[in-house]
Amino acid sequence: MPALERVQRAMMQAIGGGPEFLPADLFLGREERIIAGMKVHANTISHARLIALEETFPRCLELLGQARFNALSRRYLDRPGIAVPDLCLLGEYFPAFLQVEDCTPLVSDLARFEWLWLESYHAADAVALGLADLVGLGEAELLTVRIARHPSARIGTFGRELHMALEREVPGLAAAAAVLLVRPDADVLAIPLDPEMRAVLRACENPLSIGNLLQGGDEPVGKDRLAPDRAMAALIALLGAGALIRANNQEPE
């Protein structure tokens, strides 16, 4: 293990577990001076982690208020296993923690929405496939185009209260079955997702041709696949949202 990584890991263990976890040979000098320096470092890290949670969940912060959010954050950060080196990953389990803390469903749903937004934002870049890219293709050629889900696409299913709360920002969300978060360009978009669009997105988790998507296998319509016209409508909506990419022709079906 590289020396710097070893030092960082040892310091994180000491901060999380106490002075007894600090290797005796890590620093030179008197023990009391080392412990005093570690306390200063721990306070700095603690403050940075609290700020990181605030920046990760700004909507929850606004909904709960500074005092309540700060108290919940401190309890969350005191839990075993939360000491991660990457502050971007610090809030991964915060939505589930809020549920355990008996917060309202709106609070925990809002935290899940914000975490999915962050996942979408940090996902790998990819060029979205748009309707304009398919203009001019004949029917036979169109059906051979292979597509896949955009790496930033995230699907969230929430209670009606959250849908109502976000309706002003995302028109149509109040009546939607789920929410699609996707970053085809620089910004993350929130899009109402109906069951047909959701089914197509799931089908596109592995690359497949448009022809195979519309054919849908041998299952009867209404059971596990959509009728071709409904699948096509959902496909067009997802292309317009930037939720799909052109897959490599060598990737298996």
Each residue's pLDDT expressed in tens, for the chain with a length of 253 residues: 445 555 556 555 555 555 555 555 555 556 555 554 554 444 455 557 788 899 999 999 999 999 999 999 989 988 765 555 555 678 889 999 998 887 899 999 999 999 999 999 999 999 999 999 998 899 999 999 999 999 999 999 999 999 999 999 999 999 999 999 999 999 999 999 999 999 999 999 999 999 999 886 434 444 556 788 899 999 999 999 999 999 975 444 4
Helices (DSSP H) in the chain: which residue ranges?
A: 3-17, 31-56, 58-64, 66-77, 94-100, 105-122, 139-144, 160-166, 195-203, 210-215, 228-241
pLDDT at 252: 46
| Cross-strand partners of 178 | 193
Q: Are residues 114 and 188 in the same domain?
A: no
Task: Indicate whether 168 belongs to any domain.
Answer: yes
Task: Indicate whether 13 belongs to any domain.
Answer: yes
pLDDT at 30: 60
pLDDT at 215: 84
Compute CA 225 distance to the chain's CA centroid, rounded to the nearest angstrom.
Answer: 27
pLDDT at 13: 57
pLDDT at 11: 53
Nearest to 163 by CA among 198, 141, 125, 193: 193
Cα 196–Cα 183–Cα 239 angle in degrees, nearest 5? 40
pTM: 0.77
Q: Are residues 24 and 117 in the same domain?
A: yes
- Three-state DSSP at 132 gives helix
Q: Are residues 140 and 233 in the same domain?
A: yes
Task: Indicate whether 213 belongs to any domain.
Answer: yes
- Among 98, 122, 146, the domain boundary falls at 122
Cα 171–Cα 166–Cα 151 angle in degrees, nearest 5? 85
The dihedral through the CA atoms of 158, 162, 166, 168 has a sign that is positive
- Residue span of the structural domain in which 196 resides: 131-246
**Count: domains in the chain:** 2
